[in-house]
């Protein structure tokens, strides 16, 4: 299963665990493409009930989401929440995005262990790990309006 499918499944399981029903019309795929992500964001915003938050499963697509929100006159963290897996790219130095990410120390320690195991001859197929991300609040998340 690739990272996008894993993140989507984790998102859906998290919603279910919180007692929140997933709305299929809110689950869109833009791939690793800012233009497609912008188009998907525009489609979400055009719905009769636009979402109050957008979770972007990769930081490659995040600029497309941010651009579409800006075009719509929406300010992340004020009008809509935006959470980006891995955070916004460096060309957004004035925005501290809300982030989903692996815990940095644990990720570093585990990566070092996996690399040493591989250098010592363990097959790569045995050296996979799936991390549960942690949420780090930022400027782009806010309470629900109203």
The CATH number of residue 7's host domain is 3.40.50.2300
Q: Is residue 127 part of a domain?
A: no
Range of the domain at 90: 3-102
Q: Is residue 141 part of a domain?
A: no
- pLDDT recorded at residue 142: 81
Query: Could you give the dihedral angle defined by the CA atoms of residues 61, 64, 66 and 69, in that order, rounded to the nearest 10 degrees?
Result: -130
Q: Within its chain, how far is the Cα of 57 from the centroid?
A: 3
Give me the mean pLDDT over the 56-82 stretch.
94
Q: How many domains are there within the chain?
A: 1
Q: Is residue 110 part of a domain?
A: no
Q: Give 125-145 pLDDT, tens digit per residue.
A: 999 888 888 888 998 988 776
- How would you classify the pairing of strands 134-136 and 98-101? antiparallel
Q: Is residue 70 part of a domain?
A: yes
pTM: 0.82
Looking at per-residue pLDDT, the higher value among 56 and 1 belongs to 56
- pLDDT recorded at residue 65: 95
Q: Is residue 124 part of a domain?
A: no
Looking at per-residue pLDDT, the higher value among 131 and 60 belongs to 60
Q: Is residue 23 part of a domain?
A: yes
Q: Is residue 89 part of a domain?
A: yes
Distance separating the N- and C-terminal Cα atoms of the chain: 39
Q: Give 11-46 pLDDT, tens digit per residue.
A: 999 999 999 999 999 998 877 899 999 999 999 999
């Amino acid at each position: 299963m690739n990272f996008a499918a894993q993140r989507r499944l984790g998102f859906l399981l998290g919603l279910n665990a919180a007692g929140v029903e997933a709305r299929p019309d809110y689950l869109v795929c833009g791939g690793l493409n800012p233009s497609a992500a912008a188009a998907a964001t525009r489609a979400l915003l055009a719905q009769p009930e636009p979402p109050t938050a957008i979770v972007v499963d990769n930081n490659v697509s995040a600029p497309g989401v941010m651009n579409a929100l800006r075009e719509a006159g929406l300010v992340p963290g004020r009008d809509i929440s935006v959470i980006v897996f891995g955070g916004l790219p460096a060309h957004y130095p004035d925005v501290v995005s809300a982030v989903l990410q692996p815990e940095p120390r644990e990720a570093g320690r585990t990566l070092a262990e996996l690399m040493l195991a591989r250098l010592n001859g363990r097959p790569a197929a045995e050296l996979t790990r799936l991390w549960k991300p942690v949420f780090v609040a930022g400027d782009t998340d806010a309470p629900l309006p109203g």
